[in-house]
Amino acid sequence: MTSNLFLPQSKGSTVDVSIIHGGRTTVPTLYVFQNKIPGHDVLDIPCYSFLIENKKQGKKVLFDLGIMKAWKEKQPPQILGQIEFAKAVMDIDKDVTEQLSESKVALESIDSIIWSHHHIDHTGDPSLFPASTALVVGPGFKSNKTTFPGYPENPEALVANDAFLGRELIELDFSTDLKIGGFPAVDYFGDGGFYILQAQGHTHDHISALARTSDDKFVFLGGDVAHHPGEYRPTAHLPLPESVQPSPFAINTLTSSCPGALFEECHPAKGTSKDYRTTPFYELNPAMNVSLPDAIESVNKMEAFDASPNVFVVIAHDTSLLDVLPFFPKTINNWDSANYKSIGTWRFLKDFGGAIKS
Ligand SMILES: [Zn+2]
Ligand SMILES: [Zn+2]
């Protein structure tokens, strides 16, 4: 079954997409998913920041920043309490600013930082950027007490005030007719190279993005629409193959394979009327989303992009792509010819190794 996804026509512009590794953290899977798969107890996740470069216009933006290195000193007490409660590992080697500088990308050349949403594993430390770098946020950010004004001016805030101080804070307006794959959309540079999508459900201010890497190819930056590919794979649009190739358990062996039926046993559809080959492994948890119905709708919309051979979906925390993709300063613009999508699609199944062997 194929989906009816209409991708926007090219206006002659593309963007370069690089992924910066913005730190690593852990979350117990019981916080993230509604159901449990034995042996998969903790998500040990990278936090991706995306450098988007529009060469024609000479502009660079960052979509998310990962985690700030100085989180202990700068995060509001509520956030520190949450980290302690979750016993989360916070492993940040270098801020995104350091990584850019080391690769000779001047911080002054970054026009904007776009936050997919206000969570600490996405917001990084905008105060390290010059005042000329604007901060762009999703709808609802400025009118919600948990996000604006920032801490400590506003004790209820979950974000630090110094992220916005002295810089332009732009809240996106999606009240136009443009929709892509059901998501309200903004043509960010006005040339069809980079779209921001309003993807509600996870938080009040959540947005995703769609970057055009060639005339008809795109990278979908999912943010936290999902936290693990098992939340949006497999589906009727993208069924679990009879033979999974390469095998998720093999390292760099592209010709390896394993039977898809191996995963029937640990799939929650087992014993129900649902088909394990067309039902995602994980259901979203209400505790992880301000609106579960909206979050489910966003995942459903993202699944259509995921099933399209013209779109490569990369969520902010996709661990399974860590050993598949090249990272900054390299770009992933050649994702299609390099087969990153076909190699990476089923790699997340390795997380269920414990369940199928138990
Ligand atoms: Zn989040
Ligand atoms: Zn996140």
Ligand 1 centroid distance, CA of 305 (Å): 20
Q: Which CATH superfamily is domain 16-236+285-333 in?
A: Ribonuclease Z/Hydroxyacylglutathione hydrolase-like (3.60.15.10)
How far, in Å, from the CA of 226 to the mean position of ligand 1? 9
The residue type found at 278 is T
| pLDDT on residue 141 | 98
pLDDT at 357: 65
* 179 CA from centroid of ligand 2 (Å): 24
Q: What is the pLDDT of residues 198-213, one digit of tens each?
A: 999 999 999 999 999 9
Compute, in angstroms, the gap from residue 43 CA to the centroid of ligand 2. 11
Which pLDDT value is given to residue 3? 65
**If you measure from the C-alpha of residue 261 to the centroid of ligand 1, how many angstroms do you get, rounded to a whole number?**
32
Give the percent of the chain with pLDDT over 90. 94
Cα 121 to middle of ligand 2, angstroms: 5
pLDDT at 254: 79
353 torsion bin: left (phi>0), alpha (psi -120 to 50), beta (else):
alpha
pLDDT score for 2: 55
- Bridge partners, 50 (sequence order): 19, 63
Long-range contacts for 275-279 (Cβ within 8 Å, ≥24 apart)? 276/240, 277/234, 277/239, 277/240, 278/234, 278/235, 278/236, 278/239, 278/240, 279/234, 279/235
Q: Which ligand is nearest to the CA of 25?
A: 2
Pairing of strands 16-28, 59-63: unpaired
| Res 32 pLDDT > 90 | yes
Ligand showing the shortest atom-to-Cα distance for residue 122: 2
Quickly state the pLDDT bin for 226 (edges 50, 70, 90): very high
Q: What six digits make up the tokens of 323? A: 């050993």
Written as six digits, the tokens of 178 are: 């443009």
Q: 33 C-alpha vs ligand 1 centroid, how far in Å? A: 13
Quote the ligand 1 centre to 28 CA distance (angstroms): 14
- What is the whole-number distance in angstroms between the Cα of residue 288 and the centre of ligand 1? 8
Tell me the ligand closest to 317's alpha carbon.
2
Q: Where are the domains of the chain?
A: 16-236+285-333
Nearest listed ligand to the Cα of residue 119: 1
pLDDT of residue 252: 67
225 Cα–ligand 2 center, Å: 9
- How remote is the CA of residue 351 from the centroid of ligand 2, in Å? 19
Cα–ligand 1 centroid distance for 272 (angstroms): 31
The whole-number pLDDT of residue 356 equals 85
How far apart are the CA of 20 and the centre of ligand 2, in A?
15
In the prediction, which pLDDT does 50 show? 99
Q: How confident is the model at residue 4 (pLDDT cuts 50, 70, 90)?
A: confident
- Count H helices, E strands: the chain? 8, 15
What spacing in Å lies between the alpha carbon of 29 and ligand 2's midpoint?
13
Using the mean position of ligand 2's atoms as its centre, give its distance from the Cα of residue 192 in Å: 27
pLDDT over threshold 90, residue 266:
yes
Q: Read off the pLDDT of residues 131-148 as tens digits, 9 standing for 90 and up.
A: 999 999 999 999 999 999
The model's pLDDT over 286-344, given as tens digits with 9 standing for 90+, comes to 999 999 999 999 999 999 999 999 999 999 999 999 999 999 999 999 999 999 999 99
Give me the DSSP letters along 14-82.
Answer: --EEEEEEEEEEEEEHHHHBSS--TT--EEEEEEEEEEEEETTTTEEEEE-----TTHHHHS-HHHHHH
**Measured in angstroms, how far is the CA atom of residue 119 from the centroid of ligand 1?**
5
**Ligand sitting nearest the alpha carbon of 201:** 1
